[in-house]
Chains A and B, each alone.
Chain A
Amino acid sequence: MPENARWKDEVARRLASLRLPPEREAEIIDELAGHLQDDFRRLCASGVAEPEALEIALEELNGRPALAEAIRRTERTAPSTLTLGTPKASASLDFWRDLRYALRSFRRSPGFTALAVLSLGLGIGGNAAMFGILNAVLIRPLPYAHPDRLVHADHSGYYPPGGVVALQRGSRTMELAGYTADLELNLTGQGEPLRITGSAVSANLFQVLGVGVEVGRDFRPGEDEAGRDNLVILSHDLWRERFAGDRNIIGRVLNLGGVPRQVLGIAPAGFAFPDSRTRFWIPLHLDPRDSSAYWAQGFMPVIGRLRSGATLSQAQQEIASLSREMLRQFPYPMGKDWAAQMTVTPLQQFLRSNIRLELLVLQCALGLVLLIACANVAGLLLGRAISRQKEIALRVALGASRTRIVRQLLTESLVLAFAGGSLGIVIAFVADMVLRTALSATLNGGAPGGPGWQILVFAGVLSLFTGLIFGLAPALIASRQDLAHAIKTGGQRTTGVARVRLRSALIVGEVALAVLLTTSAGLLMRSLWKLAQVDPGFQPEHLLTLRVSPNQSLCQRRDACVALYDEVLRRAREVPGVQDAAAANTLPLAAGVPASAVKVEGLPYVPAERGAPMFWAGAVTPGYFRLMNIPILQGRALDYGDVEKASPVVVVSAATARRYWPGQNPIGKHVELVWEDRWWTVVGVAGDVRQFGLAGGTPDYIRGAMYMSYAQAEDTNRELPAVMALIVRTNGDPIRVVSGIRDVLWQLNPNVPVDEIRSMVSLVNESTQQSRAMMWLFMSFAIVALVLAAIGAYGVVSYATAQRTFEIGVRMALGAARGNIFGSVLGQSFRLVLVGLALGLVSSLLLTRLLATFLYGTGTHDPITLAAVCLVLMAVALFAGYAPARKAVGIDPLIALRSD
């Protein structure tokens, strides 16, 4: 009896000429061979001799048409090779067929596929990462109980301690709490001295936020009153790192800022209010008997929780009226408009308002990149669809419905989008790191947690949408076929008007969006360049700065503090490599605002109208101006004679002198600190220094700047500043002297923390970090956009040129000059780009206004930037048109005319 293999051989031999897909062929052979075997066995069983049975069974394979022909007729149109319009087939079956078909066709064109997937991946990944950050910062609710009920006093809503208490007692609509930000204290007696940031808060702060402590207990009412306030709550991180998570810490006494404080509790992990740097909370020190401390110092922000039933607008009205009533309680006159501006806003809005715009602008820019990527892929798909006209036409002729064709083309675009989305997720995780690094200055720890599941969901939804958006139009257009024409010409010279128009429109749109991004990047670049040109008013080269932070208690005896810094400076100057040294209570370009309210001689002081002007008040050691190379324009600098007992003197900035004593000699004029009763005499005028940032950024309530001699200085708390920045000028690289300076300080007092060691140059660079981050981000967006647009334009032009081969051949045969041909192809590229450029410039003029707040020294309609953008786009047009134009010139008329 022949083996089953024998039957298989017989069938296979007859099907060999068909060249069926191996899988399908094997199935058919299996089935038919099985049939023959069954037949043969039945015949044998019924008594037919084997050789005869064999012959009868094999006879089954003969027929008219022959087996091969009959199978060919059915298999030629079989779906496993080509999806036909078979409306009767089930939809899910169609889907899998479409999917297989799409994958196969992508494998055949790896260049196209790689380009499409990469552009989508970049677009989707960037957007998903940005969304992750946006979500963490702006959308995700604050991690407090009923965060929607939390509000914040806004519009310079800072209150003195007495004001906070008055609000707490007076408010019917809110439960209120005050807190200070950036309170820095030394933690000593626990190993190396540590300078840590924390917050002094109303006793009910935790209650207002709706947060409990993890270990121990929270502050009780009244524990923020002077005498009961030597308490502290530690952050979870500090507890873990410094005290190894020891629960017995509760009740122990720590030395914080030179004051013994009992540890009451440990905050829950992740809790950080008002910001991520906060490591401890101490109660406010409320002492109504000290009226200047109670009403004139330590103005602080206030948060509140709306009581049940109270609305935001009721709270807003109430806080305005309470603030008005409060005016009478101040021991010195406050400006009238102080109370008029008081209002409350939702806490989340308040905390995020400063970074909202930046993040939204970036998200929009990334959205544009994605749009460009989509347009690019749509263009590519359309181009592909056009070159597949004949195939599509054939399938329509064989009965495929239009829906069926659209569905298949859509499947292809969805497969692309899915691949792009998967790549996008990978890119998103990288982009998340890049964005967080670039935006670190802005976020300031405000976006906790790395990329989360939201990124995955967002990327998924985005790729689905993009797949539908960029796939639909090409699919619809490609499916609208002029059958007869397409089949007859083999899809070679049918440049369907709609298709080319749509493709050109896509490119024009892409170019326009790229122009928008390039213009934005250009403006930011120009702004950064302008910033680099700004004279900060001092020479940062060869300067090293470090912060020396003794406890404020050290300065209770002024002469101790003065002597300490005298000695620090004397010894620092002896360190090898150091030329000179000075100290100041704040560094230029740093965010610190030591401000004092002053009365100015010659300026009528009408407190009820506008209050006293606030001055930036520097406390500097003699030699500061020389060290920093700040010019003294008039009079003299502060010197060693300006000691505590001598008559108080100040040096004012040039701008201050111009503002208050225009056309007069400022030397010999006077200013007075509002809480004092003695004149400070102006002895010199110094050049203006950018104290708040290279771009200016002086808060609008700061009306002037003055320098006091350290020995005479007073801060807003009427004390001599204990924490000072030490500045040394070095011969070479400032970083080399760091260890020498640290040794000096260590020898003088090992309990004084030294930190923030930086060169002044890096400080200057840091002040432009945000601008640089924005510029680099926009620059990379613009580059991606330009590359995509260039590739898109190249694709259209080279395709159109290929379509014109015949026409160009005819023209050349008729004697057209090569130059003309070259020009006409290049011209097409330029037309596309120019239309896009025009649209892009118009939209830039309208939309770059959003960038205005990030720009310095340049308007949003900067002609130089716009001109540069035009040049860049010309280069793009040249890139897109040159190669096709060269190719067109190289066409041999004889070959071109024969080709069709």
Chain B
Amino acid sequence: MQNVELKKGSAELMILSLVEDQPRHGYDISKLIEQRSAGTVKFRVASLYPLLYRLEQRGWIDGRWVEKPGVRRRRYYRLTKDGRRVLAAQRRGWQEFVHAISRITGWENA
């Protein structure tokens, strides 16, 4: 469940958050998610990239090929203006959701 339902709802939020401050390439994004969740959340190539492409199509992120000498070219994604608005809205929604869950399950008082 954690890997399917939860991920589906939060995957977009995670990716948008990661490219908020600086452009990142796909491998970087997948490793960061893995590291920061201490291995709990892990994207495979087969699901990460289709998601990136979808976000790009919606105009929330913008991908660009960047070539540096001696390194193979990589595609960097950065947050667009629209993406920034979406991220803010999703963050708020997520916080409310987590808050609500906490109250219901009583974790708040624990």
Contact = CB atoms under 8 A, between A and B. Distances in A.
Interface string B69-85: 00011110000001000
Contacts of A38: 27
Contacts of B89: none
Interface string B49-67: 1100110011110000000
Contact of B46 (A27, A34, A61): A61
A38 B53 CA distance: 20
B44 A62 contact: yes
A88 B58 CA distance: 6
Q: Which of B44, B46, B47, B58 has the most CB of A within 10 A?
A: B46
A894 interface: no
Interface in A54-90: 59-63, 66-67, 70-71, 73-75, 77-79, 86, 88-90
A14 to B, nearest CB: 9
B4 to A, nearest CB: 9
B88 interface: no
B26 interface: yes
B100 interface: no
B73 A30 contact: yes
9 contacts: A32-B45, A34-B73, A60-B44, A61-B46, A70-B46, A71-B53, A77-B57, A78-B53, A88-B82
Contacts of A28: 49
Given A60-B46, A86-B59, 20 more contacts: A30-B73, A31-B26, A31-B74, A31-B75, A34-B73, A35-B27, A36-B45, A60-B45, A63-B47, A66-B46, A70-B47, A70-B50, A74-B50, A74-B54, A75-B53, A77-B57, A79-B57, A86-B57, A88-B60, A90-B59
A70 B47 CA distance: 7
Contact of B27 (A39, A66, A78, A88): A39
A4 interface: yes
Contact of B58 (A30, A62, A67, A86): A86
Interface string B4-48: 000000000000000000000011001000000000000011110
Contacts of B82: 88
A778 B81 CA distance: 58
Interface residues of B, number: 20
Contacts of B26: 31, 35
Interface in A11-70: 27-28, 30-32, 34-39, 59-63, 66-67, 70
B34 to A, nearest CB: 11
A67 B46 contact: yes
Contacts of B59: 86, 88-90
A61 B45 contact: yes
Contacts of B72: 4, 34, 37
B95 to A, nearest CB: 24
A730 to B, nearest CB: 85
A62 B42 CA distance: 13
B83 to A, nearest CB: 9
A78 B47 CA distance: 17
Nearest to B49: A32
Nearest to A79: B57
A126 B97 CA distance: 68
Q: Is the interface of A mostly helix, strand, loop or mixed?
A: helix
B53 A74 contact: yes
A44 to B, nearest CB: 15
Interface string A687-725: 000000000000000000000000000000000000000
Interface of A: 4, 27-28, 30-32, 34-39, 59-63, 66-67, 70-71, 73-75, 77-79, 86, 88-90
B57 A73 contact: no
Nearest to A67: B46
- 3 nearest CB pairs, A to B: A63-B46, A88-B59, A70-B50
Q: Which of B53, B60, B75 has the most CB of A within 10 A?
A: B53
A340 to B, nearest CB: 77
Nearest to B59: A88
Contacts of B58: 86, 88
B68 to A, nearest CB: 13
Contacts of B57: 74, 77-79, 86
Contacts of A36: 45
Contacts of A70: 46-47, 50
A398 to B, nearest CB: 12
Contacts of B75: 27, 31
Nearest to A75: B53
Nearest to B75: A31
Contacts of A60: 44-46
A86 B60 CA distance: 11
A36 B46 CA distance: 11
Nearest to A37: B72
Contact of B74 (A34, A75, A86, A88): A34
Contacts of B49: 28, 31-32, 35, 71
Given A34-B72, A35-B26, A86-B59, A71 B50 contact: yes
A4 B49 CA distance: 18
B64 to A, nearest CB: 11
Given A73-B50, A75-B53, A63 B30 contact: no
A452 B57 CA distance: 46
Nearest to A28: B49
A561 to B, nearest CB: 93
A67 B74 CA distance: 20
A552 to B, nearest CB: 86
B54 to A, nearest CB: 5
Q: Which of A28, A32, A35 has the most CB of B within 10 A?
A: A35
B35 to A, nearest CB: 12
Nearest to A39: B27
Nearest to A66: B46
A4 B74 CA distance: 14
Contacts of B50: 67, 70-71, 73-74
Nearest to A62: B46
A63 B53 contact: no
A431 B26 CA distance: 59
Nearest to B82: A88
A773 B54 CA distance: 64
A75 B50 CA distance: 9
Contacts of A30: 73
A66 B60 CA distance: 24
A347 to B, nearest CB: 61
Nearest to B45: A60
A35 B73 CA distance: 11
A89 B72 CA distance: 29
Contacts of A77: 57
Contacts of B53: 71, 74-75, 78
A240 B6 CA distance: 92
Contacts of B47: 63, 70
A90 B56 CA distance: 12
Contacts of A35: 26-27, 30, 45, 49
B45 to A, nearest CB: 4
Nearest to A63: B46
Nearest to A59: B44
Contacts of A78: 53, 57
Contacts of B73: 30, 34
Nearest to B60: A88
Contacts of A71: 49-50, 53
